[in-house]
Each structure stands twice: as structure tokens, then as C-alpha cells.
Chain A
Amino acid sequence: MKKRILIRFKKNTIDKPIVYRLAKDYDLIFNILRAHVYPKAESIMVLEIEGEEENFERGMEYLKSKNLQIEPIEQDITRDENKCVHCGICTSVCATEALFIDRMKKMRVGFDYEKCVACELCVKVCPVKAMNVYFD
């Protein structure tokens, strides 16, 4: 299985090598999609994690035991439906094809959240700023 999670570090919890532990002790493949880590403020990290379901659960228990807040993320990249003009430019940079041309729907741009890895390229290229990143 593959899941994306957002980890919130409270102050003074950034000193543990948690990513190393996830890989080493729980055999989880990680991909750091985004990280804002500061010593004196609340920090966040977005990870894509792949591995056995059981290992994933144990890994999450480990993170919680380190006083970290874990949130599954599905909709960190959102589309403002009022702004999107369905031009299709975003589909050219979306490596996972989360954004795609829906040929059954008059070439509208479909958005499959499940496939999104929050790389944010669409946010950068969208000419009408319809794509946004949220971490809340």
C-alpha cells in the first residue's frame, strides 16, 4: 500500500531521525514531498510512504509515540472549480496523471486526488491559479 501523510512536529521534537527509523525499523519506502522544518516553530513534513499495511500501522504508532501529530492527506492540492478553465496545461506537467484530459467529457480536465503526489507543478503552471496547496 501507498499513503501520504503529513507530520506535524511540535517545538523541540525535530531532533529524532524519524525518517531513518521508518525505513530501517519498519521497512517503509519513503518519499519526502515537502518539508518545512524549523528549530523553534511548528514544523511539517509531507511523506509518501509505501510498504506492508502492518508495517505502516506500526510505523505510525512509532511516530505517535514520539509526540508527533500524524494526518493522512488526500486533498492537500485542491482545485478551485470556479477558476479552472479546463485549458489542459496542467496535464502536461502532471507525472502521475492525477490531472488528465477526460475525453468522454468534452476534453475537460479531470482531477484524481488519489493519484496526486503533491509535487505542486500544476500550481506553478496553472495560468489562472486554479490549483492551490493547503496543509490544513
Chain B
Amino acid sequence: MKSIDEINEKIKSGKVVVVTAEEMVELVKEKGVKMASEIVDVVTTGTFGPMCSTGMFINLGHSSPRIKIGGGKCFLNEVPAYTGLAAVDIYIGATALPEEDPRNSVYPGSFKYGGGHVIEDFVAGKNIKLLAYAYGTDCYPRRKIETYINRENVNEAYLYNPRNCYQNYNVAVNLSSRILYTYMGILKPNLQNANYCSAGQLSPLLKDPNFRTIGIGTRIFLGGGIGFVAWQGTQHNPNVPRTESGIPRMPAGTLAVIGDAKKMNPRYLRGASFVGYGATIFVGVGVPIPVLDEEVAYYASRGDDELLAQVVDYGNDYPENVKRSLCEVTYAQLKSGTIKVNGKEVPCYPISSYSMAVEIAETLKEWIKSGLFYLTNPVESLPKAGSNLKICALEDGRIDPM
């Protein structure tokens, strides 16, 4: 048994032993869970994938005369930002698109520049064109402003991502007879490819499947800077089928995360365009797992061969919201390049970058070893399996009984 405070003492004295989740898998194979849990203090995880529920709050500072952009309209490099806040607080979401973007009117659309690209450019220190319109008030008389902002000339800029870091994800296939352009990439007709999107054995929440150590307040690697777990992510659903040892077999927990965008690195926040689907952003997240005991070590060391995902049809089932799995596969099978679905050998391809996930886990490891990053005790736990959370569906045509 170790406490987080003891681990932090070891970080301070330079004696901490940190391994990546990938290294932990090998170490446990070699030395067993018990010994590994005694040797290792921290396991670092990482993931780098498209995460649409990502965005950035900015406080622009006040102009002279003042303008109340709140309730008005605001564009950053022509991409609309949300203005339903105070005078100069705005939020730019990763999937926002310029009003002039043709979207899917010429199918499949290319979505060349959206909110995710604005975030990447901002974090890279580039000038962003700000255009805002307001209705004018006695205290905020100005109606329009056109200028440039960058990370040096705004007050606060922080990411607040309502849902990142999915614990497990679907494997997408297409049983229909036409090509599909999805957030899981291009899915060729009649089961010609299977696309998956998880770092598997490096993925943060798969390495702490019962949220023993990851909770609200946990300090993390976010976009190349420091962030924190703010809350459970939207659609957080710990009540899903699990393996015998308790690892979710389908998408389950998620994280809402927050962090100072001014200190992030555009290498780990990359605006992305998914043909036929939309604009989004690749986000790099890394979470340290303090090896408190054997149980934590056990879960942190589960390899791709023990982590399962469900194969889902995006031709009919996903768009129609039919909850059906065609079959179950392991991440080891996915990474081998072929899986078997409905009796057919199907080549499979990743959507999230495993090599970047490795880089993030390695970076976090170096930060901890060199005393730049300390671990935190969660302020509050995330809802766990058995909690009374349920996922609501949006039914149309509901009638207000009043």
C-alpha cells in the first residue's frame, strides 16, 4: 500500500519509479502483479484522438468604448463562437463552422476550417481575426468590433471539454451497400473495413476501469499543458457490461477536463477535418495512475488481449440508434490488422494515434520523474458502476402535460 502523498514525496526526492501503461503490461508479465505493484509508483497513460466535445473559453478584455458581445454575434477567423455569456466571455467549440462553409451541400463536404482549427491556431500563438456584433446598450454602446486577438492579448483562455477520453469505443463497420463518411472515417460498403478509436492498453480510463484513482480534481496532461479533471464527462455511463474482472466492454466512462490553453502546445491540439462529417480536433490527454496497491497495478497492467470492444454497424444501426453489437473483438486483434465479422476477414484501421498516445505517456513520465508534475488526491470520485446514472434518449414529440 502506498498513498499519493508518499508518491509525491518520492517525486520530490527524485526516487519515483514511473512506467508507461505499455511498459507496465510487459513488467507485470515478467514479474507479476505483486512485485510490479511494489516496484512501480506511477503508471502513465495517454490518448490522442478526435474529441468533438472540446472547446475553449476566452475572455477578450474590454474595448473603448465598451461592447457587449454577450447576446450578440462573434466570429473567430469567421468561425462562430458562443456569446450567451457576459459582455466579453466567449466559447469556441471544436465543431463550429463558418457560416459560408458549404457543409455537405457538395457531398461529401471537406470542412476545411472549423473551431478545432481556431483552437490550434490560437494555442500556436497565431493572430485570430475577431469580428463581433452587438445590439448596443447604455453601458456598452459599441455595436461592432473588428480586430485581432492572440494568446498574449486576451485575459483568460482555457479549454473546457465536456467530454474527452472515452473509456473504450465502438469498432465501426458498414453493412450497407454505399460508402459512408463518418466520424470514424470512411467506411466502405459491405464490410470492407473496420475502424476503431482507442489507445487500448494506453487509454487512461481503461487502465483505471473503476475510477479508483482518477476523480474530480485529478491533475492531468491536457493538450501538452497541465489540466484537471473537472467532472465526469457528458454521457458518462459506468453501468455497462463488463468483463469478469470488471473492465467495460463498450463505451463507458468519460471525463470533462479543464486547463490553461495559453500554456498548451499545438502539437497536442490539432484541428481536424473529417470528410463528409465535419470539423473537430485531435486532443492529447494523459492521466497518471498512482499505483496505490495490487488492485490498481492489476488493472493498469491489462494488455490489449484483455481489452474488448464491440463491432457496430454504421450503415443502419448507429444512425438509427439501434443498440446492437455484431461481435466482440480484442484490441490485440484490432491492432493485428484484421478481425472476423459475420464470418468475413475484415481489415481494420485506427482513427486515434497510438504513437502519439505513447509519446504523451512518455512525456508525462518524464515530467513526473523530473519533478515537474505532482499527483493529486481526487476531491470527489466519479460515478462508478452501480451508481444510479442512466443514459437518457431524446424522444421527439413529447407532450408537455401542463
- CB pair A124–B275 under 8 Å, yes or no, is yes
| Beta-carbon nearest neighbor of B354 in chain A | A107
- Asked if B175 is an interface residue, CB under 8 A from chain A, the answer is no
**Chain B residues with Cβ under 8 A from A93's Cβ?**
186
**Chain A residues with Cβ under 8 A from B350's Cβ?**
87-89, 101, 107
User: Given A86-B355, A107-B355, is A128 in contact with B186 using a C-beta cutoff of 8 Å?
Assistant: no
- CB pair B349–A101 under 8 Å, yes or no, is yes
**Chain A residues with Cβ under 8 A from B271's Cβ?**
128
By secondary structure, the A interface counts as loop
Neighbour of A103 across the interface among B274, B335, B347, CB < 8 A: B335
Neighbour of A127 across the interface among B188, B195, B274, CB < 8 A: B274
User: Given A107-B355, A127-B282, is A89 in contact with B185 using a C-beta cutoff of 8 Å?
Assistant: yes
- CB pair A85–B193 under 8 Å, yes or no, is no
A131 to chain B, nearest CB (A): 12
- CB pair A101–B337 under 8 Å, yes or no, is yes
User: Given A105-B355, A128-B271, is A85 in contact with B186 using a C-beta cutoff of 8 Å?
Assistant: no
Among B20-65, those with CB < 8 Å from A are 48-50
Q: Mark A13-48, 1 if CB is under 8 A from B, else 0.
A: 000000000000000000000000000000000000
User: Given A85-B48, A105-B355, A127-B50, is A92 in contact with B272 using a C-beta cutoff of 8 Å?
Assistant: no
User: Given A107-B354, A124-B275, is A85 in contact with B282 using a C-beta cutoff of 8 Å?
Assistant: yes
Q: Mark B60-94, 1 if CB is under 8 A from A, else 0.
A: 00000000000000000000000000000000000
Neighbour of B270 across the interface among A103, A107, A108, A128, CB < 8 A: A128
- Asked if A125 is an interface residue, CB under 8 A from chain B, the answer is yes
Q: Mark A59-103, 1 if CB is under 8 A from B, else 0.
A: 000000000000000000000000001111101110000000101
Neighbour of A85 across the interface among B270, B275, B280, CB < 8 A: B270
- CB pair B185–A125 under 8 Å, yes or no, is yes
**Chain B residues with Cβ under 8 A from A103's Cβ?**
335-337
Most A C-beta atoms less than 10 A away, residue of B112, B193, B351, B354 = B354
- CB pair A106–B354 under 8 Å, yes or no, is yes
Interface size class of B (residues with CB under 8 A): 20 to 34
| Beta-carbon nearest neighbor of B284 in chain A | A85
CA distance A121 to B192 in the complex (A): 16
- CB pair A87–B351 under 8 Å, yes or no, is yes
- Asked if A129 is an interface residue, CB under 8 A from chain B, the answer is yes
- CB pair A127–B355 under 8 Å, yes or no, is no
CA distance A129 to B117 in the complex (A): 12
Neighbour of B349 across the interface among A92, A108, A129, CB < 8 A: A92
A111 to chain B, nearest CB (A): 14
- CB pair A92–B335 under 8 Å, yes or no, is no
| Beta-carbon nearest neighbor of B181 in chain A | A125
B388 to chain A, nearest CB (A): 37
User: Given A85-B282, A101-B337, A107-B354, is A128 in contact with B349 using a C-beta cutoff of 8 Å?
Assistant: no
CA distance A16 to B392 in the complex (A): 67
- CB pair A85–B349 under 8 Å, yes or no, is no
**Chain B residues with Cβ under 8 A from A87's Cβ?**
48-50, 282, 350-353, 356
A81 to chain B, nearest CB (A): 12
Neighbour of A107 across the interface among B273, B274, B335, CB < 8 A: B335
- Asked if B358 is an interface residue, CB under 8 A from chain A, the answer is yes
- CB pair A86–B356 under 8 Å, yes or no, is yes
Among B339-371, those with CB < 8 Å from A are 347, 349-356, 358
Q: Mark A116-128, 1 if CB is under 8 A from B, else 0.
A: 0000000011011
Instruction: Show 19 residue pairs from A and B whose CB-CB distance is below 8 angstroms, ordered by the A residue.
Output: A86-B354, A87-B48, A87-B50, A87-B351, A87-B353, A88-B350, A88-B351, A88-B354, A89-B185, A89-B350, A89-B351, A91-B349, A92-B188, A101-B337, A103-B336, A127-B273, A127-B274, A128-B270, A128-B272
Chain B interface (Cβ within 8 Å of chain A)? 48-50, 110, 112, 185-186, 188, 193, 195, 270-275, 280, 282, 335-337, 347, 349-356, 358
Chain A interface (Cβ within 8 Å of chain B)? 85-89, 91-93, 101, 103, 105-108, 124-125, 127-129
